[in-house]
Amino acid sequence: MGDTTSTHYPTAMSNISRQMRRPVVQRAVFSFSQQAPSELVRAKLSTSEIAHRALTYIPDDQLQNIPEDDNTYSLFQGFQASIPEGESEHRKGHRRRSSKQHKLLGAGDVEEDGPPTIQRLKKKRNAVNHKLEMLAVRKNMSTTEIRDIDHKIANLQNVRRTVLDRLATLETDEAEVEHELLELDNKIEEMQEALDEQSTLDQSTSSLNPPRAVTPDSESMDASFMSQSLYDKLPSSSSPKSKRRPTYAKRKSMPVLHEHLESGSHIRTIPAHNDTISALDFDQPFGTMVSAALDDTVRVWDLNLGRCMGFLEGHTASVKCLQVEDNIVATGGMDATIRLWDLSRAKYEPYEHRIVENGDEDKDEEDDGLGFGNEHEDAPPPPPPDAMGDCPLFVLEAHVDEVTALHLRGDTLVSGSADKTIRQWDLVKGRCVQTLDVLWAAAQASSTMSSTEPQWRPTGRAADATADFVGALQCFDAALACGTADGMVRLWDLRSGQVHRSLVGHTGPVTCLQFDDIHLVTGSLDRSIRIWDLRMGTIFDAYAYDAPITSMMFDARHIVCAAGEDVVKVYDKTDGRHWDCGTGVTTSVEDRMAGAKTSTVEKVRLKDGYLIEGRRDGEVGIWTC
Amino acid sequence: MPSNLPYAADAESPLKPAELQVLRAQYEKEGDYVSVQTKFNYAWGLIKSNQRGDQQLGVQLLSDIFKTTPERRRECLYYLALGNYKLGNYAEARRYNDLLIEKEPGNLQAASLRQLIDDKVSREGLMGVAILGGAAVVAGIVGGMIMRGSRRR
């Protein structure tokens, strides 16, 4: 004991002298009388005490830095205000016993039921005053708290931005590494193939052309493959052959960046075409996009890098509609054909399989085929036969006028044409399995139904002349919805080939249509968007914009439209909010007056909050929403 | 502002357990983003308690507030002083209280707290001297006995 105390005192002494040396806390401590020995002993003996001291110790620089007090209320006032009324009274009673006595007396007064005295009223007044003060304090507390929260939000936003940047870099790195992996895979495959070929060559020099087999694929490609244009935009680092395993098809990682960006933020703008975008679609966020424009080209884009991957060549006129489904692309053009492309194979084996449906069109087909035949005579050696079996590409020719709408789902493709028919195609067999005559159906419906219901009624708008007869299509299993130029939306049963419901409402040609399991959303040149209840066949909701709607798509949360403006019109289904997204949003009125050039949005596509818009000047903008 | 500080006597009246529980629940509910006021409420409730552990936690929370919110530092000084006074850490209590008096010479609560600390320290100081003196005497006796015992052997 004596030992410990004897060590305590010197340390305590040094402790105190250290404190005395501190400039701020210069206190006249020259004896232990200022500090109780019990405190010293306790502080030195118990570890929890020491820990507590360490935790609560406040450094001197903080003690020096004490700003002037400019708070509107003190913490203690806040404390008083936040204690519930009854409890605070209880507390007050503790603080001033005399006041409790008074209160009791006052209570007694009330019980006496005597006339109100000035004293009592004054007391009451004081109480009310106190209440008022407390309310003011609480109000101040709330405002301060809101300010605090604002600060915190600002801080968190900053942190979020940093993390978002980090996420962006990570995704870029990820894509790069994946690309590297892919290249390595391809190299291995190539070497394997070279070995195999070598061995087969050694065994027998049969059908294969020896020099070609020896020539590296890429070289032979460069030398002889006809559709050079398809390749000159390919990423130069990899030979066409290395595209056998497409990144977009087998990406291991799923980009999630756009989900974390603020809605309406710009991801990328691609100057895709030189003329109005006529159709576009993409498979998944940061995946592959296919765009078509009135400049008569169809281009494939890597959305992650914003680079053109190649051209889809074959249509002899503009493509008016297209859809990307995994690796399959379906395009429908003004040349009345529908072409199907397999992106995973299209890189080096694009025009292999063609199927002629109608005998009477054999000749045209032959001619076409000849042209292509010439091309793929020069094509590089075919890939293994099983790969070919996996990647058939069709040309579907049966329509006699331009194809204006198509929809692909599973093995079924439906297409609508200006020849006033809708055709259903079986993609396994590669032929047309059903033709629906819209006018016939309309006529039949009018004959079987009451004559008062108009079945084909030209809307008499000027736009009709230019509007597509079949504006939009979508099928699901045996259900087919189509919107036509008469403003009608017809629901067909593909099994019977009959219209089983007509949705009347639009007063202009229907240009776009999409349904999920509950609702059908249609957009029309009559400027309105209509949301129908699919089961009831009744209108569920409708709203309109200032100009005809040319394109519309919805996902789980938003309905986006192109409505003749330089912005995409977005409707938030969950909170019912309308907002704009696109370059036009930041263009001020003054800029517009000054003649700032912005281009009208023609087509929109939306998937999982990843929005792509194609403009009249050929640019494609990518946004989050 | 000085009128908005409680006197030391206020710190000696503990809250009812239920009341303290309300404050604690509020504090815990707000989690990581607890507001200063809630933190203070809980800390002050803890300091008013009779449990030494509670008081320590209270002082700890107050020092947190002091460290994180400069605009509340001046107020916190007083409560830190008060809390440390209740804990018996008179040196710390004096350190904070003197600083507060330096800033606000007219602060009645701080002045009265200084008086309290002085009283306590002088009283405990005397007792402490007595105890320590007694301990020294005992040690001396024991030591002497041991010495004597060892010499005897």
Decide if A376 contacts A309 (C-beta within 8 A).
no
Q: Kindly report the CA angle at B85 between B80 and B90, in degrees rounded to 5?
A: 105
Whether B6 and A76 lie within 8 Å, measured CB to CB: yes
C-alpha span between A287 and B106 (Å, rounded): 72
C-alpha span between A395 and A361 (Å, rounded): 12
- Token reading at A134: 């407390």
Distance between A33 CA and the closest CA of chain B, angstroms: 6
Which regions in chain A score pLDDT beneath 70?
A: 1-45, 69-70, 72, 83-115, 204-255, 346-392, 445-466, 596
- C-alpha distances out from residue A135 to A77, A81, A90, A250, Å: 11, 7, 19, 63
DSSP letter string over A383-404? --HHHHHH----EEE--SS-EE
Mapping DSSP to helix (H, G, I), strand (E, B) and coil, where does residue A283 land? coil
DSSP letter string over B27-61? HHHHGGG--HHHHHHHHHHHHHSS-HHHHHHHHHH
Nearest CA in chain A to B20: A83
Q: How far apart are the first and last CA of chain A?
A: 74
Distance between A161 CA and the closest CA of chain B, angstroms: 20
Per DSSP, A378 falls in state S
Decide if A416 contacts A375 (C-beta within 8 A).
no
Contact list in B for residue A67 (CB cut-off 8 A) is 70-71, 73-74
CA atoms within 13 A of residue A267's CA, in its CB half-sphere: 27
Task: Give the pLDDT confidence score for residue A122 in this predicted structure.
Answer: 92
Whether A75 and B40 lie within 8 Å, measured CB to CB: yes
In 3D space, the residue among A344, A294, A284, A354 whose CA is nearest the CA of residue A320 turns out to be A294
| Domain ranges (residues) in chain A | 2-63, 75-163
C-alpha span between B54 and A484 (Å, rounded): 76
DSSP letter string over A45-109? H-HHHHHHHHHH---HHHHH-------SS-HHHHHHHHS-HHHHHHHHHHH-HHHHHHHHHHHHH
Backbone φ, ψ for residue A152 (5° rounding): -60, -40
- Token reading at A74: 């003190």
What angle, 0 to 180 degrees and rounded to 10, lies between the N-to-C axes of helices A97-112 and A85-95?
120
Structurally, how many domains does chain B consist of? Answer: 1
Q: Kindly report the CA angle at A367 between A362 and A369, in degrees rounded to 5?
A: 85
Question: Where are the strands (E) in B1-152, listed by range?
Answer: none
Decide if A499 contacts A480 (C-beta within 8 A).
no
Whether A56 and B1 lie within 8 Å, measured CB to CB: no
Decide if A361 contacts A395 (C-beta within 8 A).
no
Model confidence over A171-217: pLDDT tens digits?
Answer: 888 888 888 898 899 899 999 999 998 888 887 655 544 444 444 44
DSSP letter string over A222-271? HHH-S-HHHHTTS-TTS-GGGGGS-TTTS-SS---HHHHSPTT-EEEEEE
Whether B5 and A74 lie within 8 Å, measured CB to CB: yes
* Closest by Cβ to A66, choosing from B13, B40, B74: B74
Backbone φ, ψ for residue A344 (5° rounding): -70, -20
Residue whose structure tokens are 């200032």: A546
Decide if A441 contacts A452 (C-beta within 8 A).
no
Contact list in A for residue B79 (CB cut-off 8 A) is 75
Instruction: Count CB atoms within 10 A of the CB of residue B124.
Output: 19
Asked if the C-beta of A136 comes within 8 angstroms of chain B's C-beta atoms, the answer is no
We report the CATH number of the domain holding residue B116 as 1.25.40.10
C-alpha span between A455 and A444 (Å, rounded): 9
Residue whose structure tokens are 């895709």: A272
Task: Give the pLDDT confidence score for residue A56 in this predicted structure.
Answer: 78
Strand partners, A300: A290, A310
Model confidence over B66-100: pLDDT tens digits?
Answer: 888 888 888 888 899 999 998 888 888 888 898 88
Which regions in chain B score pLDDT beneath 50?
A: 1-2
Give the gyration radius of chain A's Cα atoms: 39
* Closest by Cβ to A33, choosing from B62, B63, B121: B121
Decide if A514 contacts A521 (C-beta within 8 A).
yes
Long-range contacts formed by A238-241: CB under 8 A, 24+ apart: A238/A183, A238/A186, A240/A347, A240/A348, A240/A380, A241/A186, A241/A190, A241/A217, A241/A348, A241/A380
Contact list in A for residue B136 (CB cut-off 8 A) is 2, 5
* Closest by Cβ to B40, choosing from A36, A79, A84: A79
Contact list in A for residue B33 (CB cut-off 8 A) is 149, 152
- C-alpha distances out from residue A346 to A191, A193, A309, A312, A353, Å: 22, 20, 11, 8, 11
Task: Give the pLDDT confidence score for residue B7 in this predicted structure.
Answer: 83
In a domain, B148, yes or no: no
Nearest CA in chain B to A77: B4
C-alpha span between B93 and B79 (Å, rounded): 9
Distance between B152 CA and the closest CA of chain A, angstroms: 23
Cα B119 from chain centroid (whole Å): 15
Mode of pairing for the β-strands spanning A421-426 and A395-397 = unpaired
Q: Kindly report the CA angle at A466 between A603 and A399, in degrees rounded to 5?
A: 85
Range of the domain at B53: 2-121
Nearest CA in chain A to B121: A36
Backbone φ, ψ for residue B108 (5° rounding): -65, -40
In a domain, B147, yes or no: no
Name every residue whose Cβ is closer than 8 Å to that of residue B52 and which is 6 or more positions away in sequence: B87
C-alpha span between A426 and A330 (Å, rounded): 13
Q: Which helix (H) or strand (E) holds A463?
A: none
Whether B95 and A19 lie within 8 Å, measured CB to CB: yes
Task: Give the pLDDT confidence score for residue A347 in this predicted structure.
Answer: 52
Mapping DSSP to helix (H, G, I), strand (E, B) and coil, where does residue A623 land? strand
Task: Give the pLDDT confidence score for residue B1 in this predicted structure.
Answer: 44
